[in-house]
Chain A
């Protein structure tokens, strides 16, 4: 695995842009960590969160549907199991529970995708 050093975070190369489906997610393995990576191509944005859904501890968020909500078009992902939704920006649960997802910065250079690990 290559690493490009930036400020505070270590940018880890995780996959090529076309490994993650458009407007969808995929799971990448970084060491022992599972990270859900979202290719929000409709907005030209990339996001990353933990892959584990905090509701029932399931490694599935990368398989959830993404979309947006509200006037600010907050980007979000819905867990495939019970459709709890989480903000891709803050990791906060948007369906009223106290869950919090870990989020990661993402950087794309050419067709290479990097995730920032602290």
Chain B
């Protein structure tokens, strides 16, 4: 039967926020039997308020949008943006908008959300006082912050801290948080947790004032400062008020619907208001005396109404208010009942004030069940702990393992998911259960998180459950007998480590031999560079002898750029260079019209070389005493140094000489991914050694050795492997560490990720490298020495060997000609690649 629009019942949604939007999505997923009409007061489509702060980190309003352009019209939803509903006529069942639209309804859904609560402090109307709720608020804040130096946030709750982070990101010199209560995030965490959080935030340059009640806002038309009740004051140029939320119930009140004394539209289990054709969902709804200021319960409410309109039975029964957040870079989580204490429960507390970690779990008196807890500084265990509470899972005999992590959080979490019941809610934003996820793996053959997102939306909301989803996929595959191994590609059924061992054992020296012995098919762009890297790590032969299996940069010993030209990066060990060599670089760059730039790795990059010019350029550099910098290879890049004791008044030892020594020792060594090092002359750490794959820092008594740091998109500090060791020991440990990494890591895995995935983590690594627990150290050292001894400058080999040199041509039938399509623009008196 094909019903016409007129026959359909009309559902009108007031409010196009997160929950209002989700309601439409959920209703559409169930039926097309309604006319849907939406009114939104804000000028734009519903957007993700939870990730609002990312607007300051470069996300646009479009990026935050909950739907793609055209979603509403594709789904036949009549959308009125920038129009506020001002009146509900319940007897006629029609609503009226500010712009004069009258819209009849059969069912009305109020999803009006809440607004920021602004306390009645004299002076709140001054310029420079803001709230933090909408994209418009953020635009205003961003504009005003340009001319401001000091900012404050009123309120030390979840949203206040989020706003404080935004002020820091906007570049304010000073950011203060003013909290009326004696602790931060009073709704979520206990006082010990608050103290740890405060200490941690203060090291991040946030000034936190507790127990402060603000009596007035100072200044003429613009804010100049805050006056407190205790007669102190604080000078600030701007203020963000984040003192709580006020449910938007004004429309409901006007229509005579029942509201709470402290705000909120009263609803029953079906989200019905006192008028049974009017529903309220999200932050405006008051259920059982409670406003739920989080998005997941709002989505559940939306589901309840959508189900009800389709004659379903679902009811709302309250909602877990557990949260996990990253506030200003600090993990904060609270779950279950974070506050229960003796005599109703026992608590186990773990505290490490040095690292800023505080964990508390509350356990039932009989020791069987987890009731709730707080995690500050390290919330890796959050997901599994939350599941343990929600599903009444029996605790292990030593419940402290849950927060101490017997062997690191990841391993235990992986095993923990198996014990969850099928109904366990994994993704609370999208209401996806463990059963849904495992079912998708088993029945629909979904094997990746990306696939799961497409399949049932798990992990698409706040993203907090993604690690659990990953573990579940993994464990289900394992349980189904699918042996999951990181195989190299469709041509090699081995992991990189297995292939490495096989090739070593069988003395395989070419790609073709590897493919013939251990692979099938003709290879591809995944296995070729992997095998090439293994060959280089094993035998250290000149890589361009097998140039067609090298990744594009390795094939031409240079990084390819936009337009198809290449860059030239000579090695400048430790960043030290003589004036004469600087002059040569300048001359070469001038002669070949190359763009020059100092790199982030303390050396000089020359960009824009034609393929056929590379050997000529390198000949000149090599004649002047330069060698390849391997900037193109998954190989040792740079060992960054600070000037150290030769010049610096604080320097303890000669960091430059040590950096050069190390860089020369490991130059040219190929690995699963690039490796970088740093050597600093004292704890001031000017060489940023702790952000490198290995970092060495001078101490009074010798050197500290750190390993497995990373810059890049997921920065991570290196971890301390050994303290106060001498140079020889340092080199010995480094040899072992690097060779162990080369032997065992997956392709394209940096040392940091490798160590993160290692069972037992740093303590295991220490055992291997320092205590020789595997008994392989003599072998690792010998292998490394073999690589060190067989070092050659591959550019020297390439320019001196006519056959190899011939490979550097754009046209094989016209080797002297350059690609005529390469073109440059100019900028600040140098060339730059043409835009593509």
With A22-B548, A60-B564, A65-B548 as contacts: A76 and B524 at CB distance below 8 Å: yes
Question: Is the beta-carbon distance between B521 and A64 smaller than 8 angstroms?
Answer: no
Question: Is the beta-carbon distance between B813 and A15 smaller than 8 angstroms?
Answer: yes
Please pick, from A25, A27, A76, A81, the residue contacting B811 in the complex, using a CB distance under 8 A: A27
Q: Which of B490, B524, B529, B836 has the most CB of A within 10 A?
A: B524
Question: Is the beta-carbon distance between B490 and A69 smaller than 8 angstroms?
Answer: yes
Report B488-531 CB contacts with A as 1/0, cut-off 8 Å. Answer: 00110000000000000000000010000000011111011100
Minimum CB–CB distance from B585 to chain A (whole Å) comes to: 26
Q: Is A19 an interface residue (CB 8 A)?
A: yes
With A59-B564, A59-B819, A80-B560 as contacts: A19 and B522 at CB distance below 8 Å: no
Extra inter-chain contacts (16) besides given A21-B807, A34-B811, A65-B525, CB under 8 Å: A15-B813, A23-B512, A28-B813, A56-B836, A58-B836, A65-B548, A65-B552, A66-B522, A67-B521, A67-B522, A67-B525, A68-B524, A69-B490, A78-B525, A80-B551, A85-B525
Q: Which residue of the partner chain B has the closest CB to A65?
A: B525
A residues touching B (Cβ–Cβ < 8 Å)? Answer: 14-15, 19-29, 34, 37, 40, 42-43, 56-60, 63-70, 73, 75-76, 78, 80-81, 83, 85
Please pick, from B522, B529, B814, B836, the residue contacting A43 in the complex, using a CB distance under 8 A: B522
Bound together, the chains give a CA A106 to CA B548 distance in angstroms of 20
With A40-B522, A65-B524 as contacts: A58 and B564 at CB distance below 8 Å: yes
Which B155-182 residues have C-beta < 8 A from chain A? Answer: none
Q: Is B212 an interface residue (CB 8 A)?
A: no
Please pick, from A26, A57, A65, the residue contacting B812 in the complex, using a CB distance under 8 A: A26
Bound together, the chains give a CA A64 to CA B184 distance in angstroms of 56
Contacts of A65 in B (CB 8 A): 524-525, 528-529, 548-549, 551-552
Binding site secondary structure of chain B: loop
Question: Is the beta-carbon distance between B552 and A63 smaller than 8 angstroms?
Answer: yes
Contacts of A40 in B (CB 8 A): 522
Q: Which residue of the partner chain B has the closest CB to A25?
A: B548
Q: Which residue of the partner chain A has the closest CB to B552?
A: A80
Question: Is the beta-carbon distance between B811 and A28 smaller than 8 angstroms?
Answer: yes
Question: Is the beta-carbon distance between B524 and A69 smaller than 8 angstroms?
Answer: yes
Q: Is B360 an interface residue (CB 8 A)?
A: no
Q: Which residue of the partner chain A has the closest CB to B836?
A: A56
Q: What size tier do the contact residues of chain B reach?
A: 20 to 34
With A59-B564, A68-B521 as contacts: A28 and B812 at CB distance below 8 Å: yes
With A19-B813, A68-B521 as contacts: A57 and B836 at CB distance below 8 Å: yes
Question: Is the beta-carbon distance between B821 and A67 smaller than 8 angstroms?
Answer: no
Bound together, the chains give a CA A27 to CA B611 distance in angstroms of 12
Q: Is B703 an interface residue (CB 8 A)?
A: no
Please pick, from A34, A60, A75, A83, the residue contacting B522 in the complex, using a CB distance under 8 A: A75
Bound together, the chains give a CA A76 to CA B522 distance in angstroms of 10
Q: Is B796 an interface residue (CB 8 A)?
A: no
Question: Is the beta-carbon distance between A15 and B521 smaller than 8 angstroms?
Answer: no
Bound together, the chains give a CA A39 to CA B491 distance in angstroms of 20
Contacts of A66 in B (CB 8 A): 522, 548
Q: Is B772 an interface residue (CB 8 A)?
A: no
Q: Which residue of the partner chain B has the closest CB to A40?
A: B522
Q: Which of B521, B525, B529, B836 has the most CB of A within 10 A?
A: B525
- What are 22 A-B residue pairs whose CB atoms fall within 8 Å in the complex? A15-B812, A19-B813, A21-B807, A22-B548, A26-B812, A34-B811, A37-B812, A40-B522, A58-B562, A58-B564, A59-B819, A59-B822, A60-B560, A64-B525, A64-B552, A65-B529, A65-B551, A66-B548, A67-B522, A67-B525, A68-B521, A69-B524
Minimum CB–CB distance from B557 to chain A (whole Å) comes to: 13
Bound together, the chains give a CA A76 to CA B490 distance in angstroms of 14
Q: Is B547 an interface residue (CB 8 A)?
A: yes
Q: Is B287 an interface residue (CB 8 A)?
A: no
With A21-B807, A24-B547, A68-B523 as contacts: A59 and B821 at CB distance below 8 Å: yes
How many residue pairs link A and B with beta carbons under 8 A? The number is: 97
Contacts of B810 in A (CB 8 A): 27, 59
Bound together, the chains give a CA A20 to CA B811 distance in angstroms of 10
Question: Is the beta-carbon distance between A67 and B524 smaller than 8 angstroms?
Answer: yes
Bound together, the chains give a CA A102 to CA B295 distance in angstroms of 51
Minimum CB–CB distance from B813 to chain A (whole Å) comes to: 4
Bound together, the chains give a CA A65 to CA B821 distance in angstroms of 22
Bound together, the chains give a CA A76 to CA B524 distance in angstroms of 8
Q: Which 5 A-B pairs have the closest CB atoms?
A: A24-B548, A80-B552, A67-B524, A26-B812, A78-B525
Contacts of B819 in A (CB 8 A): 34, 59
Which B812-827 residues have C-beta < 8 A from chain A? Answer: 812-814, 817, 819, 821-822
Bound together, the chains give a CA A83 to CA B563 distance in angstroms of 16
Contacts of A34 in B (CB 8 A): 811, 819, 821
Contacts of A27 in B (CB 8 A): 810-812
Bound together, the chains give a CA A65 to CA B525 distance in angstroms of 6
Report B547-576 CB contacts with A as 1/0, cut-off 8 Å. Answer: 111011001100010111000000000000
Bound together, the chains give a CA A73 to CA B524 distance in angstroms of 11
Q: Which residue of the partner chain A has the closest CB to B555?
A: A63
Bound together, the chains give a CA A4 to CA B549 distance in angstroms of 34
With A59-B564, A63-B555, A67-B528 as contacts: A73 and B817 at CB distance below 8 Å: no
Contacts of A23 in B (CB 8 A): 512, 548-549
Question: Is the beta-carbon distance between A78 and B812 smaller than 8 angstroms?
Answer: no
Contacts of B817 in A (CB 8 A): 29
Report B798-817 CB contacts with A as 1/0, cut-off 8 Å. Answer: 00000000010011111001
Report B467-505 CB contacts with A as 1/0, cut-off 8 Å. Answer: 000000000000000000000001100000000000000
Bound together, the chains give a CA A80 to CA B564 distance in angstroms of 10
Bound together, the chains give a CA A73 to CA B811 distance in angstroms of 28
Question: Is the beta-carbon distance between A19 and B812 smaller than 8 angstroms?
Answer: yes
Bound together, the chains give a CA A38 to CA B249 distance in angstroms of 71
Minimum CB–CB distance from B494 to chain A (whole Å) comes to: 17
Q: Which residue of the partner chain B has the closest CB to A14?
A: B813
Bound together, the chains give a CA A73 to CA B552 distance in angstroms of 23
Contacts of B836 in A (CB 8 A): 56-58
Question: Is the beta-carbon distance between A83 and B525 smaller than 8 angstroms?
Answer: yes
Contacts of A22 in B (CB 8 A): 548
Contacts of A60 in B (CB 8 A): 552, 560, 564
Contacts of B512 in A (CB 8 A): 23, 42
Question: Is the beta-carbon distance between A68 and B552 smaller than 8 angstroms?
Answer: no
Contacts of A29 in B (CB 8 A): 811, 813-814, 817
Minimum CB–CB distance from B441 to chain A (whole Å) comes to: 23
Please pick, from B522, B529, B548, B813, the residue contacting A68 in the complex, using a CB distance under 8 A: B522
Bound together, the chains give a CA A38 to CA B563 distance in angstroms of 21
Minimum CB–CB distance from A17 to chain B (whole Å) comes to: 11
Contacts of B529 in A (CB 8 A): 65
Contacts of A19 in B (CB 8 A): 812-813
With A27-B810, A28-B811, A80-B560 as contacts: A73 and B522 at CB distance below 8 Å: yes
Contacts of B521 in A (CB 8 A): 67-69, 73
With A67-B528, A69-B490 as contacts: A58 and B563 at CB distance below 8 Å: yes
Minimum CB–CB distance from B614 to chain A (whole Å) comes to: 13
Minimum CB–CB distance from A24 to chain B (whole Å) comes to: 3
Minimum CB–CB distance from B801 to chain A (whole Å) comes to: 14
Question: Is the beta-carbon distance between B523 and A67 smaller than 8 angstroms?
Answer: yes
Minimum CB–CB distance from A48 to chain B (whole Å) comes to: 12
Bound together, the chains give a CA A23 to CA B562 distance in angstroms of 25
Contacts of B812 in A (CB 8 A): 15, 19-20, 26-28, 37
Bound together, the chains give a CA A63 to CA B555 distance in angstroms of 9
Minimum CB–CB distance from A63 to chain B (whole Å) comes to: 6
Minimum CB–CB distance from B128 to chain A (whole Å) comes to: 46
Bound together, the chains give a CA A51 to CA B836 distance in angstroms of 16
With A29-B811, A67-B528 as contacts: A21 and B548 at CB distance below 8 Å: yes
Q: Which residue of the partner chain A has the closest CB to B522?
A: A68
Question: Is the beta-carbon distance between B522 and A42 smaller than 8 angstroms?
Answer: yes
Q: Which residue of the partner chain A has the closest CB to B811?
A: A29
Please pick, from B524, B547, B562, the residue contacting A78 in the complex, using a CB distance under 8 A: B524
Contacts of A58 in B (CB 8 A): 562-564, 836
